Amino acid sequence: MIMKEVIMEEMINKEKLKNRLISTLSDDWRDALKSYLDGEEFDNICNILSMRILDDKEIFYPKLDNIFRAFKLTPLSDVKVVILGQDPYHTPNTADGLAFSTSREAYMPPSLRNIFKELDDDLNIKNNSTDLSPWAREGILLLNASLTVIEGKANSDEAMWKGFSDKVIDVLNKDTRPKVFVLWGNFAQKKAGLVSEPHIIIKSAHPSPLSANRGFFGSHVFSKINEALRYFNYDEIDFKLR
């Protein structure tokens, strides 16, 4: 009981929570985002998350140590491709900190199912694992525009994280190494104005069941990604999950 109280005391302290989050970033992301992380807006985010934990009323996902997981698995220096999602899954034990990914066993989210269908049709690659961390280690930043979500409330934290996700895209855009930005659906495509040459943008409909038949299926997005990487003289992505 004493140990549990100590852990809760640490988590609900805003400054300790802030330091804990920042510690999960790779070193180069921590340096690149320093001005934002030292600013008032990030302080406000940490305060909101601390209060949620303290009140124990608004459960949010993913787990605290997975909020910045995408930036740990894919350091800034390794980013070749950015796939932009909207927000984490808002059901229990599903969000794992990577856009469209889940480590939840025996559950295939509908959008991910459609992503795998297009991958099979495009490159004849069949995947069953729902954990996309191998893609992250290949250089794909699986970035959700909103890094947290309240249980059962899709898009609940969109406004809270907008400044952060815009800052991340700005950092990626200003980095001189060319990258491929994959923007699925209207929400992601609103970020297109933040991206300029020499980077390449690939757009299509969102893989959601509501829109996949309106331009995601048949988009050949995965072969287009590798075509762009060849143009940049990068190694292709191995999309096979093992």
Q: What is the pLDDT of residue 4?
A: 46
Q: Extract long-range pairs of 116-121: CB within 8 Å, 24+ residues apart.
A: 117/217, 118/207, 118/212, 118/216, 118/217, 118/218, 118/219, 118/220, 118/221, 118/222, 119/222, 119/239, 121/217, 121/218
Tokens representing 193 are 């104005």
Express each pLDDT in 95-133 by its tens digit. Answer: 999 999 998 877 899 999 999 999 999 999 999 899 999
The model's pTM: 0.93
Is residue 225 within 8 Å of residue 81, measured between CB atoms? yes
Query: What is the average pLDDT value for the chain, to the nearest integer?
Result: 93
Catalytic residues: 87
- Please state, in angstroms and as integers, the Cα–Cα distance from residue 211 to each residue in 110, 132, 134, 164, following that order: 11, 22, 26, 27
Beta bridge partners of 85: 144
Compute the distance between CA of residue 157 and CA of residue 171 in angstroms, rounded to an integer.
22
Express each pLDDT in 158-187 by its tens digit. Answer: 999 999 999 999 999 999 899 999 999 999
Residue 235 is classified by DSSP as P
